[in-house]
Amino acid sequence: MSKICVIGTGYVGLVTGTCFADLGNSVTCLDVDETRISKLLKGIMPIYEPGLQEIVERNVKAGRLIFTTDYVKAVKDAEIAFIAVGTPSGVDGEADLQYVRQAAESIADLVDSKIIVVNKSTVPVGTGDWVAEVIQKRRNGRPLDLNVVSNPEFLREGSAINDFMQSDRVVLGSENRTAAEKVAELYAPLRCPVLITDLRTAEMIKYASNAFLATRISFINEIANVCEELGADVKVVAQGMGLDKRIGSAFLDAGLGWGGSCFPKDVKALAHMAVLHGTHPQLLQAVMEINRNQRRRLVYKLRKALGGLNDRTIGVLGISFKPNTDDIREAPALEVIHLLENEGAKIKAYDPQAMENAAQILQKVKLCDNPYQVAEGSDALILITEWNEFKQIDFNKIKELMNQPVIMDGRNLWDEKTLKNMGFQYFGVGRATKP
Ligand code: NAD
């Protein structure tokens, strides 16, 4: 059993800390956000993540999981400190490392015993070395037995607990193999492959993985647009491709493109790193451009179908960047809503979990309590996030409530034939139905 501290209790830190506690470790989760910690102390989850509440409660009760804003309490006696703070996009797309720096400096100020600092945040290649430098500089000659390990995180919001407990792999990078092996011991109960590398390679594995997944989505979206023009069905094309074992079927769903707190900033940051070091990331640039275009294309189709967007009422189903999360950071819905509002459309919207977050930034949008309220008086309904709740909608009721029965199925969720037979004008993505 190791004494662990997790710095940052967001989607990654909270899930990581809770899961390590569930594996029998003593974990202190630390955050500078007092509201977040006071919620956790009352047993209220600050994020929506399926299954999280129960496992937090179990470990708090067992005394293995503590929440605090007190750095001294959290890091002073920790053997292993995970940094899981945000690394948002900064100027020119480079990762903003101010929170990582703050965490590193706090460790430098408070720790005197041997410590392994594990970086879980997604950070530019070379940051592990930089963290060690920041700490040593801050110590100003006071000795510290320090090792830095990079342990990039691959969990997905919405299935984070499962992704942690059944990881495909754990990647650990360090210049000190013993330190990496000590961290590997924490993961031993998971019985998953552990890849130990040097620091920079581990950091690059994270960026390369996210960029590759984003590339697959942009690839299928480009194919979808060609399908749409040539009369092929991209859903079946993807199915046919995916049956090839060399290709596989994951991340081949055509739609409105990728968003969220990771892909946009990570692809941008990788492209920025590439340019900074004199290479030309042509593929990454195209992957980002295709993604932006996917939202514009939907707006174009809608404008054509409705003969203009000014003063039209558009209903939006789904605001979170993907189902099963309340996270709306860089969600496709925000960009689509922005583009529609720019053309004078009025927006009504509903999301099963993201309404609280949406209310903070979508000032002009009428936020509704359910899909039927959204449909009422709408000239078109756009499906943006494929929540389960939207799979079984009563389309008879929807049709009665709408001003015009126009549906833009941005995720190819619904059955085209059924909706057309019911009298809807239906547009999917890459399915040959043109306005
Ligand atoms: P988040 O914004 O949800 O959480 C970050 C937390 O860190 C916040 O609660 C913030 O208050 C806290 N924080 C900031 N500075 C701090 C400091 N100095 N000391 C203590 N706490 C501090 O972020 P997230 O989504 O959990 O992402 C964290 C990192 O993990 C990012 O680098 C991200 O790219 C990476 N990542 C995220 C995901 C994901 O699905 N969200 C997946 C893989 C990797």
Q: Which atom of ligand 1 is nearest to the CA of 14?
A: 26
The rounded distance, in Å, linking the Cα atoms of 412 and 415 is: 8
pLDDT in tens, 262-304: 999 999 999 999 999 999 999 999 999 999 999 999 999 999 9
Tokens of 203: 């950091």
Q: How far is the CA of 69 from the centre of ligand 1 (A)?
A: 15
Whether 273 and 303 map to the same domain: the answer is: yes
Residues 382 and 344 in one domain: yes
pLDDT of residue 230: 95
**Domain-embedded: residue 204:** no
- Would you say residue 207 lies in a domain? no
In a domain, 356, yes or no: yes
Based on the structure, what is the number of domains in the chain?
2
Q: Whose CA is nearest to atom 20 of ligand 1?
A: 31
Q: How far is the CA of 9 from the centre of ligand 1 (A)?
A: 7
Looking at the structure, do residues 177 and 275 belong to the same domain, yes or no? no
Does residue 36 have a known ligand-binding role?
Answer: yes
The atom number, within ligand 1, closest to the CA of 12 reads 26
Confidence of residue 434 (pLDDT cuts 50, 70, 90): low
Which of 132, 165, 197 is the C-terminal boundary of a domain?
A: 197
Give, in degrees to the nearest 5, the angle at Cα 228 between 404 and 350.
40
pLDDT, mean of residues 382-411: 98
The amino acid at residue 246 is R
Q: Whose CA is nearest to atom 10 of ligand 1?
A: 8
Specify the pLDDT at position 261. Answer: 92
Residue nearest to atom 30 of ligand 1 (CA): 121
Report pLDDT for 314: 98
Pair 238, 160: CB distance under 8 Å: no
Kindly state whether residues 238 and 91 are assigned to the same domain. Answer: no
Query: What's the ipTM?
Result: 0.99
Q: Are residues 305 and 384 in the same domain?
A: yes
Maximum pairwise Cα distance, the chain? 76
Residue 204 to residue 184: CA distance in whole angstroms: 19
412 lines ligand 1 (CB under 6 A): no
Q: CA 190: distance to chain centroid?
A: 23
When pLDDT is averaged across residues 333-346 and rounded to a whole number, the result is 98
DSSP letter at 251?
T
Distance 39 CA to ligand 1 centre (A): 17
Q: Let me know if 274 is exposed, middle or buried by CB neighbors in 10 A (0-12, 13-18, 19+).
A: middle
The CATH number that applies at residue 31 is: 3.40.50.720
Burial of 42 (0-12, 13-18, 19+ CB in 10 A): exposed
The secondary structure of 283-351, three-state, reads: HHHHHHHHHHHHHHHHHHHHHHHHCCCCCCEEEEECCCCCCCCCCCCCCHHHHHHHHHHHCCCEEEEEC
255 has binding-site annotation:
yes
User: 306, 379 in Cβ contact below 8 A?
Assistant: yes
Q: Report the chain's mean pLDDT, rounded to a whole number.
A: 96
Which residue range forms the structural domain that includes residue 55? 3-197
Mean pLDDT, residues 185-207: 98
pLDDT of residue 432: 73
Given 130, 163, 197, which residue is the final one in a domain?
197
**The predicted structure's pLDDT at residue 395:** 98
- C-alpha span between 323 and 36 (Å, rounded): 23
Q: What is the pLDDT of residue 435?
A: 52
- Average the pLDDT over 103-118 and give the result: 97
User: Cα(98)–Cα(25) distance, rounded to whole angstroms?
Assistant: 29
Query: What is the mean pLDDT of the segment spanning 253-259?
Result: 97
Same domain, 64 and 184: yes
Give yes or no for residue 384 CB within 6 A of ligand 1: no
Contacts of 61 (CB under 8 A, 6+ apart): none
Q: Is the CB–ligand 1 distance for residue 87 below 6 Å?
A: yes
Does residue 110 form part of some domain?
yes
| Domain stops at, among 197, 225, 240 | 197
Is a pLDDT exceeding 60 seen at residue 344? Answer: yes
Please check whether residue 202 lies inside any domain of the structure.
no
Cβ of 33 less than 6 Å from ligand 1: yes
* Tokens read off for 160: 């984070």
Residue 262 Cα: closest atom of ligand 1: 34
Tens of pLDDT along 219-246?
A: 999 999 999 999 999 999 999 999 999 9
Does any ligand 1 atom lie closer than 6 A to the CB of residue 30? Answer: yes
58: left (phi over 0), alpha (psi -120 to 50) or beta: alpha
Residue 93 pLDDT level (bands cut at 50, 70, 90): confident
pLDDT, average across residues 341-360: 98
Per-residue pLDDT tens over the stretch 373-392:
999 999 999 999 999 999 99
Share of the chain above pLDDT 70, in %: 99
40 labeled part of a ligand binding site = no
Pick the residue whose CA is nearest to atom 3 on ligand 1: 10
